[in-house]
Every structure is written in C-alpha cells, then in structure tokens.
Amino acid sequence: MADDERPNRLEVARRHLQRVLAAWDEPTDWDDLSLYGFYCLEAAIMAASDFLGWDTKAQHTDKARAARRLHDERGLPDVEDLLGEMNQARKATAYGDMEIPELHAEDVASEIEAFVEAVAHLIEARE
C-alpha cells in the first residue's frame, strides 16, 4: 500500500481511543476496552514510528520495542508493559482460555489516552 493510501495512524488511534473511553465506565466493557485499547496503543506506536522514520514491523514484539524506544529516546509515557497486558486481555476476552490481567479500567483508559496525546503532541509539534 502506498503511503498516500495508508490511513493516518494517529487518526486511527484517536478513533480507537473513543471506543476505549466509552468502554471503561461501570460496567466495564472488557471486550471493547481490551480490543480497542490494544489496537489504539499499536496504532499510536506505529504513528510515532512512522513520523520518526523508524522501521517498525507489524509484529507485536517490534511494536513493544518501539514503545520502549519512544519512552527511552523521546520521553513518551512508558506503555510497553501495558501493551503486553492489553494483548493478554484481548486474547482472554476473545478466546476465553486465559485470565484477564488484573487491570483497573479507568487507569488503563487514562494511560492510553495520555499516550495518544503524547504521540499527537510529538507529531503535531513538528509538522
């Protein structure tokens, strides 16, 4: 897919974030929170990586490394562990064969929102 055909990953992350923010309130919709939380983080990581010219592959482990690098080199919030927890939560709700990690829904939503805002600031401050 050509760059001009690729969806704006920051906009994708923001769209997923809206689902995250709608899902955390009581009763928490863990299906949506885990799925869209995971996808939101991944889209934001890829948006920042694309902007910085980093060659980040589509594999989860590469995105986790990019999350660590964004924190270490650019001072963005550290979401590497949260990304793993959201992946586990997503699998738990989708397949039902593992436990959902112990997560506080409001904190998860807040951390994800803060990360997306930090990525947006990184990108929009340099455009």
Q: What is the DSSP string of the chain?
A: --TTTS--HHHHHHHHHHHHHHHSSSSP-HHHHHHHHHHHHHHHHHHHHHHHT----SSHHHHHHHHHHHHHHH-----HHHHHHHHHHHHHHHH-SSPPP---HHHHHHHHHHHHHHHHHHHHHH-
pTM value is: 0.91
* pLDDT tens per residue, range 25-56: 889 999 999 999 999 999 999 999 999 999 98
| Omega before residue 27 within 30° of 0, cis | yes
pLDDT at 81: 96
pLDDT at 100: 85
Distance of alpha carbon 19 from its chain centroid, rounded? 12
pLDDT at 7: 72
Q: Which residues of 92-114 are buried (b: 16+ CB within 10 A; e: fewer)?
A: bbeeeeeeebebebeebbebbbe
pLDDT at 127: 58
pLDDT at 98: 87
Residues in the chain, pLDDT under 70: 1-6, 127
